Amino acid sequence: MTFTDLPPYDGDDKPHDECGVFGMYSPQPLDLAWLTYLGIFALQHRGQEAAGIAVSDGDKFHVEKDLGLVTQVFDERRLDSVRLANARVSIGHVRYSTTGSNLRFNAQPLTTRTNKGILGLAHNGNFVNAREVRNQMLMEGALFATTNDSEVMLNLIARESHMDLVEATAGAMQQLRGGYACVLMSRTALIGFRDPNGVRPLVIGQRDGPDGAYVIASEPCALFAVGARLLRDVLPGELVWVDHDGLHSLMVNPSRPTPCSFEWIYFARSDSRLDNVDTHESRIRMGEQLAREFPVSADIVVPVPDSGMGAAIGYARESGIPFDYGLYKNPFAGRTFLAPTQEARDLKVKMKLSPTSAVRGKRVVLIDDSIVRGTTSRQIVNLLREAGATEVHFRVSSPPIKHPCFYGIDTAARKELVASTHSIEQIRELIGADSLKFISERGLREAVSGPGLCLACFNGEYPAGTPLLGDVDKLALEV
Amino acid sequence: MTFTDLPPYDGDDKPHDECGVFGMYSPQPLDLAWLTYLGIFALQHRGQEAAGIAVSDGDKFHVEKDLGLVTQVFDERRLDSVRLANARVSIGHVRYSTTGSNLRFNAQPLTTRTNKGILGLAHNGNFVNAREVRNQMLMEGALFATTNDSEVMLNLIARESHMDLVEATAGAMQQLRGGYACVLMSRTALIGFRDPNGVRPLVIGQRDGPDGAYVIASEPCALFAVGARLLRDVLPGELVWVDHDGLHSLMVNPSRPTPCSFEWIYFARSDSRLDNVDTHESRIRMGEQLAREFPVSADIVVPVPDSGMGAAIGYARESGIPFDYGLYKNPFAGRTFLAPTQEARDLKVKMKLSPTSAVRGKRVVLIDDSIVRGTTSRQIVNLLREAGATEVHFRVSSPPIKHPCFYGIDTAARKELVASTHSIEQIRELIGADSLKFISERGLREAVSGPGLCLACFNGEYPAGTPLLGDVDKLALEV
Amino acid sequence: MTFTDLPPYDGDDKPHDECGVFGMYSPQPLDLAWLTYLGIFALQHRGQEAAGIAVSDGDKFHVEKDLGLVTQVFDERRLDSVRLANARVSIGHVRYSTTGSNLRFNAQPLTTRTNKGILGLAHNGNFVNAREVRNQMLMEGALFATTNDSEVMLNLIARESHMDLVEATAGAMQQLRGGYACVLMSRTALIGFRDPNGVRPLVIGQRDGPDGAYVIASEPCALFAVGARLLRDVLPGELVWVDHDGLHSLMVNPSRPTPCSFEWIYFARSDSRLDNVDTHESRIRMGEQLAREFPVSADIVVPVPDSGMGAAIGYARESGIPFDYGLYKNPFAGRTFLAPTQEARDLKVKMKLSPTSAVRGKRVVLIDDSIVRGTTSRQIVNLLREAGATEVHFRVSSPPIKHPCFYGIDTAARKELVASTHSIEQIRELIGADSLKFISERGLREAVSGPGLCLACFNGEYPAGTPLLGDVDKLALEV
Amino acid sequence: MTFTDLPPYDGDDKPHDECGVFGMYSPQPLDLAWLTYLGIFALQHRGQEAAGIAVSDGDKFHVEKDLGLVTQVFDERRLDSVRLANARVSIGHVRYSTTGSNLRFNAQPLTTRTNKGILGLAHNGNFVNAREVRNQMLMEGALFATTNDSEVMLNLIARESHMDLVEATAGAMQQLRGGYACVLMSRTALIGFRDPNGVRPLVIGQRDGPDGAYVIASEPCALFAVGARLLRDVLPGELVWVDHDGLHSLMVNPSRPTPCSFEWIYFARSDSRLDNVDTHESRIRMGEQLAREFPVSADIVVPVPDSGMGAAIGYARESGIPFDYGLYKNPFAGRTFLAPTQEARDLKVKMKLSPTSAVRGKRVVLIDDSIVRGTTSRQIVNLLREAGATEVHFRVSSPPIKHPCFYGIDTAARKELVASTHSIEQIRELIGADSLKFISERGLREAVSGPGLCLACFNGEYPAGTPLLGDVDKLALEV
């Protein structure tokens, strides 16, 4: 087990999603190894640290996982090693770790042997009471091979030796609180379930044609990648399963729906529709809302590529100020770029983003989706000024992030959140903008206009509770 | 020496530039290994198949090169292995091979021992008479370790044992015809030279501050990456060299300037300025020109990301039709994506580009920079229609490509060039667009409005001649 | 987790030991990562499929393990990753798997979090009732991440949450039957224990000098490798532990000592002394005994290198027939040699062993330590005849192997054991020797003359019992 | 091109041979990639730093080479990449570099394009006038991609554009002096040639059966490995070639035969017969000679494994003192063993060689083949004393090495040769032996009793001359 030292994603001051999950069940033989590869490749934006695939044909059960991008972990040989001629069920996972522990043995799917046979679990999100449950089980004699929340879930399922797999999983859902979306496979069934508030997304799809295979995934793009169409979202608190009898549903513990607002602000791909709200459209509305809330006299609207694109188009439309491509983004920038010194680390932003001639002599409205630490924002503003921008008006399509997320988003530690320790005016000064405005919470709600939203990182109201322990920084589970 | 089988860059039907070159000379000790790494990283878009760096301190001469991206070839350990405490001169190279022979031993810089000491050469472009010169030298007893044009250049230089390095290089320039831009280093000097027509670009920069190191590179972005500002372009037919006495120039064989138009259409980064013409601005003008030449009634203007961006903004501005982000581009798509079958190969475009909700129910003006084979274009049009676009009007910011390039661009074989065998109407039908229009040659000239342009791939007029042999397909040099 | 396909050790028809174990406890800071590397390197002959090291300083607990030789798994970087400045306790392991399942996740040390803190276990041998105990624990809700016997042991230890670690380990020893020798570490203590019959070896040593660190290992050579001298063997059924108070002992369940005879015949290094019997000396005595039991008229005595060396020297001494080096052994032969076809597989022996001129025209007494399948023996006899040997008299320093080992030795499946299905005369004919003789059981006992011996693979008398299940071939634990 | 930092072969104070060469020509299609793999695998003892194979079918010409052992360089995939369905001619090479420059681009076969088509060359040995010839050719305008002597040979061949390949090769032989044995291939012919004195070995073989393919190799073991029998040695100064007309011979420049004595002392495998003298038999005679020249009263004769084996058997036979296996050699010791500190470097010998109980309380005659620096000898003597040997009498089956080899053997720099700066008595004291004796030159001659011998490293009489330059340490060719 290697404690690796992958640097954080380069030149990037964004919240990071924990994971993407994917599962398939096919009544007829399909190349599920290959399809699962496509599915998690489409979810790569949700996690770049590790990738894994498990496949079963009802008898054999293969799993491969490792640190790295999907295309790094899976070459032909390694994909072959999970391929089964009569594959029936599979799951896949891409991971971004919240706790900074890029342990190889924490890569998912997590597989284990239990009294319900061999099981594989892939999850997105966090259980806020995992630590208490885990400590209790340790006292009762359980072993934990990993520090992964998934293992707590699997232990809860295994403990109920008198229940069948669906019952035991529903029982485990009732004991673990938090924001999560999971896929679970046995040799013969695929299960998907989502937390009571639906904080983390999960959708169901089905392939047309003879196999009619079912797919469960974090976002619709993963369905499309395998030739499936979107059936519907898994509902908050719902458990669905697929076996030889088809698709079944059980409402386990539904509560008030509060899906994570950051899925629309930044995480989800702009071709995704979650809980019946389109991401691209909501981003354009965020930009329009920003333009209404915080108009400014300027010459061009420039997105921070690529995440500010939708809001910039919206801002330009509502304000009438021309949209322009003022920042070139080097498509080869990424985590493998070397940066041995501090000076070099500053170079990272410069090697990734470079102003075009569009900004020279212009008053620029710069649109980004969020500000976490503010370091990158300052460098971007600086780059624009060096390239001849006369004014830089910064507009952000999310409210200030002041609180940590306990539901699977890595927002940086609270003390690093610039908005939790600085006023907006102080941040403006810090990043060197001529003006700085964040969309209002109300404006964000209206732009998404969905079923309710989790805004905990903005306002500290946690719909699924917080860890019980006084010290919430000690989420890492230790013996 | 491994004959590798890297697939062509995935889901991509673009012309490919052969290479990017970079060189530095510093009168004071600088970490040239690191700076050259930054320089070729900024040029990565010009070649993704191989990368290399050579460094000398006046005595030692280190070189590292291999197949792969800059960040794949150079990890810390390998960059260290070319690092020299008192580095004085360095060159670097990124490569895209024209002939499909991704040979490791063809990676550059090419280094050799000659009567002028050890030399390193990195080149971009092609010598159209390399084969004849090579065969002549073989008959005279020369050895060729590679099939690389660079080795012909080096043999010509070495043969003139009575001349110094600058004289011999100027002599070699006079014997080799074509489109090329090269950097050449000895242990104590850096040389840069550009073909008589300036087909391939080359610029000179200098770092501010105490070292005042000189930089020669394919594009200005590589200068900025190492903290240098742009001094000027190397002129067509000019040879410049830098040694302990500073920067010198020799006009060897200048001719009518006809830089490659594709640098402005597609190759050069949108933050580059070549031969005094800004690429981003010229792309916006191409879009405006297209809108004037071929207006259409539509709802949104959508770029094929990222290369259609500038022209799409221009088209939207001139036409008044709203710009929108109608195609999501997966930033993780790239050459390492597995695609074992034909069906899977079709998936490649789908895994790379995905329509957003913006196109649903809309008449779309789709802007791309070029069409080579047309295969990708057809898939994109199809994706848009499946996503609900009611009309797709395809606009291309380059004229139809009908002729091969002999100056270092890989445009596909002539019979694969869809425009050399099909009428525009036939292409329109093939790709399934409602209308298809290419910018006129005159329109392109006006949009670039530079010093003259090579338009050979559009009109077959080759300013620097063609290979002498009847069969131009046999460019590969064989014994 | 990669299901690898390492071929069995090439050109080798030997029984294979399951593992080598190693542990250290130092009252003063020592570079235990490095010393453990040395220790398991010295034990490499006991297992070539996987290697691992765990180190703790009382707080941090690092572990690295992977498939491969010690020197393949541990390069500088990876050894550094388990290095701790104030290391106090460590264990290491080399593995040869009995069941053919070269799973990466079965590599040891196995580490887990329990109510006794984090624990690491490395074991050599087999528990014959592991399957029943495992199935019972599964029914009670336990998870098993691996198919490793060690995990059963750790579950038994964890289950006794009211006991301390030493008590719980002693309790687990009483529930698991078989032949085994284990080292177990917590953050602050090292434990070693050996099965009631002492089937598998385990020795204790101590470093001279200021640190006085204790070492527990499978063979004395591992003690010498880290600068320790041999204190004594761990006794059959004994549990020893080392903590800040020094070395302690607990006799848990001693029984009649019957150490594995194959340690002296073949496994243990010829510089090892186990249970007070020197291996090299006992091998010479085996050869002398063979010469007395089965004399023959011949010209030279030739060992199959290297394992027949000791017995060949003994045979030559007792018989007066000159010893000679008649078979050259290629030191580069090993598992990485390619052998795509059956013809090529035959080549493996030929590429490993080659007759010297010594055998030409000679009557050869060929000495080997054992015959398992007989395939290699036939090839060696054939090689000698082709090289001009006029007679080949095969002498084997172990009795015929007729029964499988359940205590950690991989002897091949019973039906592959040539001596379980053929008479000695039939084997002689099969391998093409002029005569074939095996040492008698009594002769072997006298040559070793130790405290009793396990001879189960020769006579089917299993001192520590056999698996309870009817089908002993299904030792692999499955859910 | 990576400047690697492979450590010298561990715990080993031996002269090192430069290389092994191998070539095949088959009139019928054969899997020459695979057979050449077998051939160079059998020659692995002659060079462990790099390996390479080139194969042609008359049209295609494939080559693969890299740093590492044969089994490290060639996995299935890489062997496949040189495989040709209708292979006709092939060569292979294993390399140990004399100059310490483990450059990847110096790996062989060296391939190049010339006016005689593409050629591949693999050589063993050194040209003493390579530097002068090379400098002359540089002045005439030649390029040198490598610092490899082979490239000088290829340039000489290419320069004679009016001659055919055989003539040009014979011409090159006449211009280069030294000790060498080479195989050279074009697309349609295989050539082998040996220096005028036959310093380096080269043999010819032929496969039985329908293909009757010819083989040329450094030692007969490589013939046997591919199913060929030994026809004869290539004679000193002879050039042989094989093409569709069969095997041909040309005596180019024969001189007095003086093959390298170290082939019999140490280099060649003990199953080899070179120039009609068997290596194993000659080693036994060396031991017998040593016993006659330097008898001693002792209890056992112990070889330093494995190279002292033959001489130890001879010494034991002649003296009547029993042979015993007193030093266990760890078969896993090798170059990949980590040894970060000086203390650890001392450990290397200890990890490789370990005394058995045989030496305890005994007067030991220790037999080794040579002493170069003496460092390892001292450590071995020390190990034996620590293990209880009462006396250690060191006997060496070669005379003291006092002079460097210019014909392809790496004996260490002259100042490191302990015998060139110390008397035998001083060396005895240095290594701590009770007595130390080297075989006499005359005794060595008699033991080999071949056609004459090169004894230059013992007596400084160089049959093929020395480098012309005053400073013979500057053999490395530099521009």
**Which architecture does CATH list for B16-258?**
4-Layer Sandwich (3.60)
CA atoms of C370 and C377, how far apart (whole Å) = 9
Sheet containing strand D391-396, strands side by side: D300-303, D363-368, D391-396, D435-438
**Residues of chain A with a CB closer than 8 angstroms to some CB in chain C:** 1-3, 62-65, 78, 81, 111-115, 117-118, 138-145, 147, 151, 154-155, 158-161, 479
Q: Which residues of B touch D112 (CB under 8 A)?
A: 143-145
Q: Which residues of B touch A344 (CB under 8 A)?
A: 34
The per-residue pLDDT for range A158-189, each reduced to its tens digit, is 998 889 999 999 999 999 999 999 999 999 99
**Which architecture does CATH list for C283-447?**
3-Layer(aba) Sandwich (3.40)
More reliable by pLDDT, D85 or B146: D85
Extract the tokens encoding C441.
């059981």
pLDDT at A339: 65
* Model confidence at C472: pLDDT above 80: no
**Residues whose CB is less than 8 angstroms from the CB of residue B420 and which lie 6 or more positions away in sequence, other chains included:** B401, B402, B403, B414
pLDDT at D350: 87
Q: What percent of chain A has pLDDT over 70?
A: 89
With contact defined as 3+ CB pairs under 8 Å, the chains touching D are B, C
Q: Which residues of A touch C139 (CB under 8 A)?
A: 115, 161
Task: Pick the closest to residue C448 from C195, C231, C262, C222 (CA basis).
Answer: C262
Is B19 an active-site residue? yes
- Closest Cβ–Cβ partner in D62, D111, D158 for B141: D158
**C282 membership: H or E segment, kind and range:** helix C279-293
Mean pLDDT of A204-218: 96
Q: Are B192 and B120 in contact (CB under 8 A)?
A: no
CB-based contact B143 D160, cutoff 8 Å: no
pLDDT at C105: 63
DSSP labels for B283-323?
HHHHHHHHHHHS----SEEEE-TTTTHHHHHHHHHHH-PPB
Number of Cβ atoms within 10 Å of the Cβ of B342: 8
Q: Are A132 and A86 in contact (CB under 8 A)?
A: no
- Closest Cβ–Cβ partner in A38, A224, A328 for B354: A224
CA atoms of C278 and C267, how far apart (whole Å) = 13
Q: Which residues of D touch C330 (CB under 8 A)?
A: 42, 44-45, 269
With cut-offs at 50, 70 and 90, classify the pLDDT of residue A8: very low
- Closest Cβ–Cβ partner in B278, B317, B357 for A357: B278
| Alpha helices (H) in A320-440, listed in sequence order | 342-352, 375-386, 418-421, 424-431
User: Is the domain covering D283-449 a CATH 3.40.50.2020 domain?
Assistant: yes
- Which of these CATH numbers, 3.40.50.720, 3.40.50.10860, 1.10.10.10, 3.40.50.2020, describes B281-449? 3.40.50.2020
Q: Are D51 and D68 in contact (CB under 8 A)?
A: yes
Helix-helix angle B130-139:B149-159, to 10 degrees: 50
Instruction: Report whether the peptide linkage leading into residue A306 is cis, meaning its omega lies within 30 degrees of zero.
Output: yes
Side-chain-facing half-sphere of C324: CA atoms under 13 Å? 23
DSSP labels for A73-105?
H--HHHHHTT--TT--EEEEEEE--SSS--BGG
Q: Are C201 and C182 in contact (CB under 8 A)?
A: no
User: For A8, which DSSP code?
Assistant: P
More reliable by pLDDT, D375 or A25: A25
Q: Are A447 and A311 in contact (CB under 8 A)?
A: no
Q: Are D180 and D126 in contact (CB under 8 A)?
A: yes
CB-based contact C143 A142, cutoff 8 Å: yes
Q: Are B232 and B241 in contact (CB under 8 A)?
A: no
Helix-helix angle A149-159:A165-175, to 10 degrees: 130
Side-chain-facing half-sphere of A175: CA atoms under 13 Å? 22
Instruction: Report whether the peptide linkage leading into residue C109 is cis, meaning its omega lies within 30 degrees of zero.
Output: yes
Residue of B18, B19, B43, B431 marked catalytic: B19
CB-based contact C337 D224, cutoff 8 Å: no
Sign of CA dihedral A339, A341, A344, A346: positive
Residue to test with chain B: of D111, D113, D162, most B Cβ within 10 A: D113
CB-based contact A71 B332, cutoff 8 Å: yes
* Distance to chain B for D173, nearest Cα, Å: 17
Burial of residue A465, with CB atoms counted within 10 A of its CB: 0-12 exposed, 13-18 middle, 19 or more buried: middle
| Amino acid symbol at C37 | Y
pLDDT at C341: 61
Q: Are A443 and A289 in contact (CB under 8 A)?
A: yes
Mean pLDDT of A278-290: 97
Q: Are A107 and A50 in contact (CB under 8 A)?
A: yes
| Amino acid symbol at B400 | P
With cut-offs at 50, 70 and 90, classify the pLDDT of residue D146: confident
Mean pLDDT of A85-113: 80
Three-state DSSP class for residue A391:
strand
Three-state DSSP class for residue D435:
strand
User: β-strand A391-396 against A435-438: which pairing, if any?
Assistant: parallel
Beta bridge partners of D300: D364
Task: Count CB pairs under 8 A between chains A and B.
Answer: 131
| Amino acid symbol at D183 | V
With cut-offs at 50, 70 and 90, classify the pLDDT of residue D356: very high
CA atoms of C89 and C58, how far apart (whole Å) = 8
Q: Are B185 and B191 in contact (CB under 8 A)?
A: yes
B246: left (phi over 0), alpha (psi -120 to 50) or beta: left
- Looking up tokens 């290979």 gives B467
DSSP labels for A177-213?
-EEEEEEEE-SS-EEEEE-TT--S--EEEEE-SSS--
* Distance to chain A for B172, nearest Cα, Å: 35
* Model confidence at D95: pLDDT above 60: yes
CATH class in words for A282-450 = alpha beta
Number of Cβ atoms within 10 Å of the Cβ of C280: 27
- What's the ipTM? 0.90
Q: Which residues of A touch B48 (CB under 8 A)?
A: 332
Phi and psi for A185 in degrees, rounded to 5?
Answer: -125, 140
* Distance to chain D for B297, nearest Cα, Å: 56
- Closest Cβ–Cβ partner in C64, C118, C161 for A1: C64
CA atoms of C388 and D271, how far apart (whole Å) = 13
| Amino acid symbol at C198 | G
Report how far Cα A424 is from the mean position of its chain's Cα atoms. 27
pLDDT at D7: 31
Burial of residue B44, with CB atoms counted within 10 A of its CB: 0-12 exposed, 13-18 middle, 19 or more buried: buried
Three-state DSSP class for residue A123:
strand
Task: Pick the closest to residue A200 from A186, A215, A183, A184 (CA basis).
Answer: A183
Q: Which residue of B has its CA nearest to A318?
A: B322
CB-based contact A159 C138, cutoff 8 Å: no
**D185 membership: H or E segment, kind and range:** strand D178-185
Three-state DSSP class for residue A470:
coil
Torsion of CA D420, D423, D428, D429, to 10 degrees: -110
> pLDDT truncated to tens, each residue of chain B (479 aa)?
222 222 333 346 776 667 999 999 999 999 999 999 999 999 999 998 899 999 999 999 999 999 889 999 999 889 999 999 999 999 999 987 544 444 566 789 999 999 999 999 999 999 999 989 999 999 999 999 887 888 999 999 999 888 999 999 999 999 999 999 999 999 999 999 999 999 999 999 999 989 999 999 999 999 999 999 999 999 999 999 999 999 999 999 999 999 999 999 999 999 999 999 999 999 999 999 999 999 999 999 999 998 899 999 999 999 999 999 999 999 888 766 776 665 666 778 888 999 999 999 999 999 999 999 898 999 999 999 999 999 999 999 999 999 999 998 876 667 789 999 999 999 999 999 999 999 999 999 999 987 799 999 999 999 999 987 544 444 333 33
E strands present in C186-276:
190-194, 203-207, 214-217, 228-233, 238-243, 246-251, 273-274
Q: What percent of chain C has pLDDT over 90?
A: 78
Q: Is A454 annotated as ligand-binding?
A: yes
Beta bridge partners of C366: C302, C394
* Model confidence at A84: pLDDT above 70: yes
Q: Is A182 annotated as ligand-binding?
A: no
With cut-offs at 50, 70 and 90, classify the pLDDT of residue C474: very low
Task: Count CB pairs under 8 A between chains A and C.
Answer: 93
Q: What's the whole-model pTM score?
A: 0.88
Extract the tokens encoding D120.
């591949």
Residue of A13, A16, A17, A19 marked catalytic: A19
All structural domains of chain B with their residue ranges:
16-258, 281-449
- Closest Cβ–Cβ partner in B64, B159, B479 for D141: B159
pLDDT at D478: 36
- Closest Cβ–Cβ partner in A2, A151, A154 for C64: A2
* Model confidence at D123: pLDDT above 60: yes
Residue of C19, C204, C228, C327 marked catalytic: C19
pLDDT at D114: 94
Beta bridge partners of A435: A393
Q: Is C59 annotated as ligand-binding?
A: no
For chain D, what percentages of helix, strand and coil (3-state, to nearest 5) are there? 30, 25, 45
pLDDT at A345: 64
CB-based contact D145 B64, cutoff 8 Å: no
Q: Are D411 and D454 in contact (CB under 8 A)?
A: no
**Residues whose CB is less than 8 angstroms from the CB of residue A304 and which lie 6 or more positions away in sequence, other chains included:** A327, A353, A366, A367, A368, A369, A380
With contact defined as 3+ CB pairs under 8 Å, the chains touching A are B, C
Mean pLDDT rounded to a whole number for chain D: 90
Report how far Cα C456 is from the mean position of its chain's Cα atoms. 16
